[in-house]
Amino acid sequence: MVAKSKNILNFQNGAGRILLISTSLMLVLIGCAVFFSFYLETGSSSYREVLFLGLAMVIALSSQWFLLKTIQTPQILSPEERVHATNEKLRHILNSITRQVESALGIKNTAVGNIEHPADILAATLIQCVATMSEQVKTLLSALQMGSNETLEEARQSFIPLIDKTAEAITQYLNISQNIDSQLRERINETQQLLLNLRSELANVTQRQAQQKESSDLSMSIRQMCSIIETHLQIDNSVDTQLQVVAHDTNESAMMLITLMRDLSDEARELVSYISSSMSNIRSMEGGVDDNVAFIVRIGRFIQEIPIKIQADIQSVQGASGVIDGLGYLVDSIKEISFQTDILAVNAAIQAAHAGEAGLGFKIVADEVRKLAVNSNKAAEMIEAGLETARHTIQHGLKFKFLDEIMVQMDEAAHVSEAVKKLEESHEDMRQYYKTLFTVINRNNTKLANDISEILGSIQYQDVVRQRIERIQVAMQRRNELLQQFAMELENSKGNIVDDFAEQMNIVLNNYIEEESHHNNSLNPNAAEDQPPKFELF
Amino acid sequence: MAKILVIDDEEQLRDLLKQMLTRDGHEVVTAFDGVEGMRAFNQSHPDLVITDIIMPNKDGIEVITELLCRKPNLAIIAISGGRRAITAEFNLESAELLGVKGILSKPFTRDQLREAVNQALGL
């Protein structure tokens, strides 16, 4: 109903205009009828005036019918229907369908071309007639007011052809209106037919849409499958990206390891060479130090033996002196024996003299005994002198030997001082040498420790790689499980598995990305993306 | 050209080095042992340090170690003539292992000094 009225209004712009004109004309004709009824009451009548009145009534009724039809149409519509009629979606559909039908059948051009053109001409004629009639009516009214019969007669004479002309125009208008009406009916019928066709077409379209919906469902499923495949690809891309990172990191780590190991080898080789040459120098210095130490030990031992030697010498000298002293006692005894023997010899000689010749032999013995005593005394004196000489010689010799010992000791002491000085120098050299050695070794050990630490870090990086691969494996395993499940359910055709599968697949992807991101953030919270990941020590 | 710190306990050699380096256009600061050498380094911030190894108070090995700990890329030339059992080769090899840029065994010529200085300064 709404579509129908809309279509009528759409291609009846000229008819609407006619309705307005006819309404105005109706009012004029009613005035004229009133005028002529007044005139007829005055006694004059004619066939034309009656016909004119009948035409005016017909026109008035027709106009009223059109007017009521046009006005009542929208009044029938309830507000819900208006709302419904103005529903955007339906209007859009109907408009689009209407445009398609109009463009296809050419209704608009033919209808507008057939209806508007003569109606416009007729309307213009009617307007002109009505305007003229209006002027004539004014003239008649003024003539009546003035009460001039001549003027009234002139006005009536001039008004009659105009009425004739207007009646002719109205007749043409009625004919044309009838034509228009018939054409409108035809068009309405055509429109109704078109609407029926349109409805059937719409039904077909609806059916096709239903078919297309099934097809669309299939397309939807295909799109969802494409989305799933896209998700697959995203997972694969994510995994591939991580694998590339892993491969790059592993390669970098391996290259770093090789470089560090090469540096470490060079440093170790230099250090070994340095330590080897240092050991040679140390052995040389140790040989010098050993010589000095042996010399010092020999000197010490000698110094320790000096008092013993001196004590032994003193004891020897004291023993020799005691022996000499003992020999002195013997010399004294010999001297006393010699003295007593001499006294005895003297007494024997005295007694021999007293004995006379009998004592001559005894006197000779006494003399010999006396000579022996004298000789014994001389021998004792000689022994005493010899012992004195010996004592003097011992004491003198001991004195000179001790001085020699002192000189030797002084000489040895001088050697000891020199040796100690050499030993101090050797010790200073050794201290300096070992200090340098330990400084260099310590610094190189520090470098080696740092290099080894970096190597350990690089080796531990392998564990980061392992963790990444494990996360990838978890995601891939989950995806494969879902794929297997999806394949089974697809085979069994259970429900709408595509949506569930896509959702679960997205969960797998999001979980993997989130875990990887979380892990990267935990490794390096402030790092930029292009920066290499840090080692994770554990 | 460059600011050079010379550390050597031998006054004659120190003066000779200063004269040679000054003649080549360098600004030279001298010190007679490691302690004074470190003090001069803190004050003058030289581009190059030429140091003897065997010195009283603080030897060249200590100086080199401390300087390289503070400034790892500092240009250092070690000079040594050895002493008694400690040879110049040992001292210079030790300095080289510590990371000096050049070594000179006493006695050395002016050309050898200039070449070592230019090489250490990257000229």
Beta-bridge partner residues of B30 = B6
Q: Decide if B98 touches A, using CB distance below 8 A.
A: yes
> Does the pLDDT value for residue B14 go beyond 80?
yes
* Nearest C-alpha in A relative to B98: A440
Contact B54 A432 (CB under 8 A): yes
Alpha carbon of B1: minimum distance to chain A alpha carbons (Å): 32
Compute CA B108 distance to the chain's CA centroid, rounded to the nearest angstrom: 13
Residue A92: HSE in the Cβ half-sphere, 13 Å Cα cutoff: 3
* Nearest C-alpha in A relative to B97: A440
* Nearest C-alpha in B relative to A438: B94
Q: What per-residue confidence (pLDDT) applies to A400?
A: 65
**Residue labelled with tokens 């080897």:** A276
Q: Decide if B93 touches A, using CB distance below 8 A.
A: yes
* Whether the Cβ atoms of residue B94 and residue A437 lie closer than 8 Å to each other: yes
* Nearest C-alpha in A relative to B55: A432
Contact B61 A435 (CB under 8 A): yes
Q: What per-residue confidence (pLDDT) applies to A104?
A: 44
Query: What token pair was written down for A273?
Result: 């060479």
Q: pLDDT tens digits for B51-103?
A: 999 888 888 999 999 999 899 889 999 999 877 778 888 889 889 888 899 99
Contact B85 A440 (CB under 8 A): no
Q: Decide if B65 touches A, using CB distance below 8 A.
A: yes
Q: How many CB atoms lie within 10 A of CB A25?
A: 25
Report the SS3 class of residue A135: helix
Handedness of CA B38, B41, B47, B51 (dihedral sign): negative
User: Rounded to the nearest 10 degrees, what angle do helices A149-355 and A13-41 cross at?
Assistant: 150
* Nearest C-alpha in A relative to B62: A439
CA angle (B45, B112, B18) in 5-degree steps = 45
Q: Decide if B71 touches A, using CB distance below 8 A.
A: no
What's the ipTM? 0.82
Q: What per-residue confidence (pLDDT) applies to B41?
A: 93
Contact B90 A271 (CB under 8 A): no
Domain boundaries, chain B: 3-121
Q: What per-residue confidence (pLDDT) applies to A309?
A: 76
Facing B86 at nearest CB: one of A270, A433, A440: A433
Q: Which CATH superfamily is domain B3-121 in?
A: Response regulator (3.40.50.2300)
Domain boundaries, chain A: 2-230
* Nearest C-alpha in B relative to A426: B85
Q: Decide if B62 touches A, using CB distance below 8 A.
A: yes
Facing A281 at nearest CB: one of B53, B54, B87: B87
Q: Decide if B54 touches A, using CB distance below 8 A.
A: yes
Separation between Cα atoms, residue A494 and residue A9, nearest integer Å: 54
Separation between Cα atoms, residue A286 and residue A283, nearest integer Å: 5
Alpha carbon of A282: minimum distance to chain B alpha carbons (Å): 9
Beta strands in B1-113 (DSSP E): 3-7, 27-31, 48-52, 75-80, 102-105
Separation between Cα atoms, residue A198 and residue A64, nearest integer Å: 32
Q: pLDDT tens digits for A246-304?
A: 667 766 766 776 777 777 777 777 776 777 677 677 777 767 777 777 777 777 777 77
Q: What per-residue confidence (pLDDT) applies to A506?
A: 76
Query: What token pair was written down for A184?
Result: 């409108």
Contact B65 A281 (CB under 8 A): no
Per-residue pLDDT of chain A (538 residues; tens, 9 = 90+): 333 444 444 434 555 666 666 666 767 766 766 666 656 555 444 556 666 666 766 766 676 666 666 655 545 555 555 555 545 554 555 455 455 545 544 443 444 444 445 555 655 665 666 566 566 656 655 655 565 556 556 656 665 666 666 566 556 655 665 565 565 556 556 655 655 665 666 577 667 666 766 666 666 666 666 666 667 667 777 766 767 776 677 667 667 767 777 777 777 777 767 776 776 777 777 677 777 777 777 777 777 777 777 777 777 777 877 887 778 788 888 888 888 888 888 888 888 888 887 888 888 888 888 888 888 888 888 888 888 888 787 777 666 666 676 677 667 767 777 777 787 787 778 778 888 888 888 787 777 777 777 777 766 666 777 777 777 778 777 877 777 777 777 666 655 666 676 777 778 778 877 777 776 655 554 444 444 444 443 3
Separation between Cα atoms, residue A350 and residue A322, nearest integer Å: 42
Contact B54 A270 (CB under 8 A): no
Q: What per-residue confidence (pLDDT) applies to A433?
A: 82
